[in-house]
Copies of this chain bind each other. A is one copy, B any other.
Amino acid sequence: MTVTAAPFHVALHDRVEATGSVVCLGIDPRPEAHPSTHPSTHDHDPARIAKAVVSYYRDLLDAAAPDLACVKLQSAFFERMGIPGLVALAQLLVDARERGLPAILDAKRGDIGSTAEAYAAAYLDGGVFDADALTVHPYLGMDSLEPFVDVAQRNGRGLFLLVRTSNPGGADLQDLTIDAPRPDGARPLTLADRVADLWTDRARELGVDARGYGPLGAVVGGTVPERLVELRDRLPHAILLVPGYGAQGAGPAEVRGAFDRQGLGAIISASRSLSHRDGDDPPREAADAARSMARALREVRPRA
């Protein structure tokens, strides 16, 4: 089951154009932080907590869907809830897609050979945790990514490779300069640059759509605006998934460099700043927050 017959990257851009929104709702269930209208922590039964999570996010999706480009489900928070949490993950993946929202599973998987094949089969090939796109780790090298690329290409799914993350420690390895010949006066190449270049080479081999994009997206944090601009250039065929907006401190000005000249090529993810509301009607407040965020981002996006 896919949202549409179009490949993920095409369907996502179609939806961005239709809704005018580049907002990606991050679904990071923290039952202990649920608003009092959708309580869950007074209950210690894991199955009931997971049920409350599904109910809460369904209400959010119903209210906010018109102002969302897509959703991103954070696997860690579901895994933390054990078996009922994973049932909730399967349910919310279906719920999002039934509402026309492409569903990115942020599970940051990365392994080699037949193990990578097993992860790709688990998340991009019609199983109970079937998603439209998956986040993946680069450290194990290009052959480790190939099983994911194969399945994504075959099934019209997307990948988001971690290139430059939004945390301060992202610099530890990703900003290391690597020893590579450079033209006179050129900035030294970082590890993240090298990852981006390898990914762009692979994207070219796969081919791009009419907008210039393909299935190989990338994660670049909104908290490093100057890197975002540089990596936008190095990843011309990648839709960028940009975390760090809101709770992590990035705003419209910080993420504007993520877009191409048509105002496409990036989705901006926010979780806590959209979903952790505590008024009388949190789903309505989440929808309002998503609408405001979409509007603020339209102000900074180039117009085609």
Contact = CB atoms under 8 A, between A and B. Distances in A.
B195 A79 contact: no
A165 interface: yes
A79 B119 contact: yes
A50 to B, nearest CB: 12
Interface string A119-145: 101110001110000000111111110
A140 B74 CA distance: 16
Interface string A96-117: 0000000000001111111110
A173 interface: yes
A11 interface: no
A173 B141 contact: yes
14 contacts: A74-B118, A77-B115, A80-B121, A82-B90, A83-B128, A108-B109, A113-B167, A137-B137, A143-B168, A176-B194, A178-B178, A178-B179, A179-B188, A191-B191
A191 B195 CA distance: 13
Interface string A154-196: 0000000010011111111110111100000000100100110
A76 interface: yes
A-B interface, 4 closest residue pairs, ranked by CB to CB distance from nearest:
A141-B169, A143-B169, A141-B172, A76-B118
B80 A83 contact: no
Q: How large is the interface on A (under 10, 10 to 19, 20 to 34, 35 or more residues)?
A: 35 or more
A67 interface: no
Contacts of A143: 167-169, 172
Contacts of A166: 112
A86 interface: yes
A6 to B, nearest CB: 26
A59 to B, nearest CB: 22
A167 B110 CA distance: 12
A171 B303 CA distance: 42
A171 B79 CA distance: 31
Nearest to A166: B112
Given A108-B110, A167-B144, A82 B174 contact: no
A87 interface: yes
B127 A82 contact: yes
Which among A108, A142, A144, A170 has the highest number of chain B CB atoms within 10 Å? Answer: A108
A285 interface: no
A28 interface: yes
Interface string A55-86: 00000000000000000001011011011001
B191 A176 contact: yes
B194 A169 contact: no
Given A80-B122, A83-B90, A112-B165, A142 B28 contact: no
